[in-house]
Amino acid sequence: MTIQEKLNLIKQVGEEIIGENELVKLLENGEELIAYDGFEPSGQIHIAQGLLRAININKITKAGIKFKMLVADWHAMANNKMGGDLEKIQTVGRYFIEVWKACGMDLSKVEFVWVSDLVKDPKYWELVIKIGRSNALRRFIRTAEIMGREESLDKLTGAMIIYSCMQTADIFYLGAKICQLGMDQRKVNMLAREIGPQLGFYKPVIVSHHMLLGLNVKTQNLEIKTYEEKIKRTIELKMSKSNPDSAIFMTDTYEDIKRKINKAYCPEGEINDNPILEYYKYIVFESLASLKVDKLQIKRPQRFGGDIILSSFQDLEKKFANKEIHPMDLKTALIEYLNQLIKPVRLYFEKNQEAKALLEKVKSFQVTK
């Protein structure tokens, strides 16, 4: 694979890449590169964390980059996920890994690293303290969005400030030259680029992936004037575990998928901030091999024009914008495609007794924001 081919794969993942020229140099140097993402185990895993994450990671590893997935159990505890119960958090973490096993992530090129192992090393805490000393408190408060929190002092705890220092330390402790996280993690990744040279490290490249809209979000097509507004709006509109109908979960039944998709926001002809179109773009068209097709078929009665064959997302978007495809026809087809993609995961959790027990435990836990 050429450098350009590798770069093209990575650019398919990154909605934004900060340090693209640096990334090219890293690829040209031929050193073993490590990319990382971290996840707070909390509640059931939705399709963005499951299937979409597998799609993105497979592209990164196909480009010859090793991927370290950080199971951020201590971060979740600091952020009061699962009521701060570390045992529950770790149970959810093991369940997440089982989902990725079942949904096609190439785990031969992915290493799972538990923060509960990192914290046993005094050198990790030495690095956390050095990072904490590098900036005034207000600089770390600015990164509070990484936890889904407001940047107001009255709502932040001391543990949440430690969280920012830990997440920055994770990058350098893992040797990750590439931060491959969601757009909502941009602020702490930028902090790492500032701090790295101060502490004798490198400036990590930031490859921020897109975050799927919540299914039931109703936007107002607001004008976005600054990048800060864009990030804030991305966080506000993303799917949420606290609202189960805002996302498809990886073990949802056919009936669950049908109910959620049929209720989803999808105004006729509207292509901006349309969650149904996002599911097609980022999941369905990226999963054609899994669906065993090279084109998509939208089935319709002959009296409404008959079936439509779509060769690309751009083709779908154009036809939808021109009102050649009705939202209900789009939803009906999406239900079938999503069910086909999620069915192997459902079956895995039905047949694998260990995975089944984990899922039952996770379902019994109360999810806290």
Domains and CATH numbers, the chain: 3-209 (3.40.50.620), 243-364 (1.10.240.10)
Residues of the chain falling short of pLDDT 50: 151, 220, 222, 369
Helix%, strand%, coil% for the chain, nearest 5:
60, 10, 30
d(C-alpha 72, C-alpha 113), whole Å: 8
Summarize pLDDT for 85-138 with one digit per residue, the tens. 999 999 999 999 999 999 999 999 999 999 999 999 999 999 999 999 999 888
d(C-alpha 238, C-alpha 278), whole Å: 11
Strand 296-298 relative to strand 308-310: parallel, antiparallel, unpaired?
Answer: antiparallel
Closest by CA position to 43, among listed 82, 13, 73: 82
Q: What is the DSSP letter of 284?
A: I
Cα-Cα-Cα-Cα dihedral sign, residues 284, 290, 296, 302: negative
What pTM did the predictor assign?
A: 0.89
Summarize pLDDT for 15-56 with one digit per residue, the tens. 999 999 999 999 999 899 999 999 999 889 999 999 999 999
